[in-house]
Amino acid sequence: MRSTIYDEIGGAPAVTVVVDAFYERLIADPDLMAYFAGRDMARLKAHQRALVTVALGGTSEEYSGRMMQPAHRGLAITDMAFDKVLDHLHAVLVSAGVPPVTCAKILAILQPLRTDVVQSSVAVAR
Ligand code: HEM
């Protein structure tokens, strides 16, 4: 059987650890707070899980790139915010012991979503 990135990083238990740590980092980052503050925690965790699922190549129809644009419309996400979110994910993957080659693969899957997620060149007020 072909090994997936999901298997490579250690399957479901590793994903849960990564999602939790990722969530904590995003809500604690002063540059990202404005995007996530005041939102429902369960929904945000679901967001982080969705993002990690996409990153691991486990894209379901629901989380395909096609729906990224409507999902992020009106949120004024900047390139900087996108980069920071990916940096946090990278840091979490490294802490979870994910090898550099696998981290690079994961980030390469997410990068093309930038064009749909980033819909503003203006930084949000904070
Ligand atoms: C990098 C790839 C990304 C993926 C795969 C992704 C995935 C998603 C998905 C699937 C949704 C819809 C969730 C739902 O309807 O419950 C969503 C909404 C959202 N995303 Fe992302 N996202 C990404 C990047 C970002 C970035 C960079 C930010 C902010 C800096 C962000 C902030 C949000 C917010 C605030 C919502 C709305 C959540 C809510 O309705 O409560 N996302 N995202």
Domain of residue 89, CATH code: 1.10.490.10
Which two three-digit tokens encode residue 14?
């590793």
Closest C-alpha among 25, 37, 43, 28 to residue 89: 25
Q: Considering the domain boundaries, does residue 122 fall inside one?
A: no
What radius of gyration do the chain's Cα atoms show?
Answer: 14
Report yes or no on 126 lying in a domain.
no
Tell me, what's the pLDDT at 62?
A: 52
In a domain, 43, yes or no: yes
Cα 23 from Cα 52, distance rounded (Å): 11
In which domain, by residue range, is 30 found?
5-117
pLDDT number for residue 66: 64
Domain assignment present for 90 = yes
Choose between 84 and 110: higher pLDDT: 84
Residues 66 and 11: their CA atoms lie apart, in Å, by 26
Within a domain: residue 25? yes
Using an 8 Å Cβ cutoff, are 19 and 52 in contact?
A: yes
Q: State which of 7-16, 33-42, 109-118 shows the largest mean pLDDT.
A: 109-118
State residue 43's pLDDT score. 83
**Residue 5: both structure tokens together:** 């990135």
| Residue count (the chain) | 126
Which amino acid, 18?
A: V
pTM (predicted TM-score) = 0.87
CA of 5 to the centre of ligand 1 (A): 21
Is 81 close to ligand 1, i.e. is its CB under 6 Å away?
yes
Ligand 1 binding pocket includes 106 (Cβ within 6 Å): no
Query: How many domains would you assign to the chain?
Result: 1
Helices (H), the chain: 5-8, 11-28, 33-36, 41-55, 68-72, 79-95, 100-110, 114-117
Give the model's confidence band at 21: pLDDT under 50 very low, under 70 low, under 90 confident, else very high: very high
**Which tokens sit at 75?**
């949120």
Q: Is residue 123 part of a domain?
A: no
Q: What spacing in Å lies between the alpha carbon of 1 and ligand 1's midpoint?
A: 32
Q: Give the per-residue pLDDT at 104.
A: 93
Q: How confident is the model at residue 2 (pLDDT cuts 50, 70, 90)?
A: low
On whether residue 29 sits in a domain, the answer given is yes
Residue 71 belongs to a domain: yes
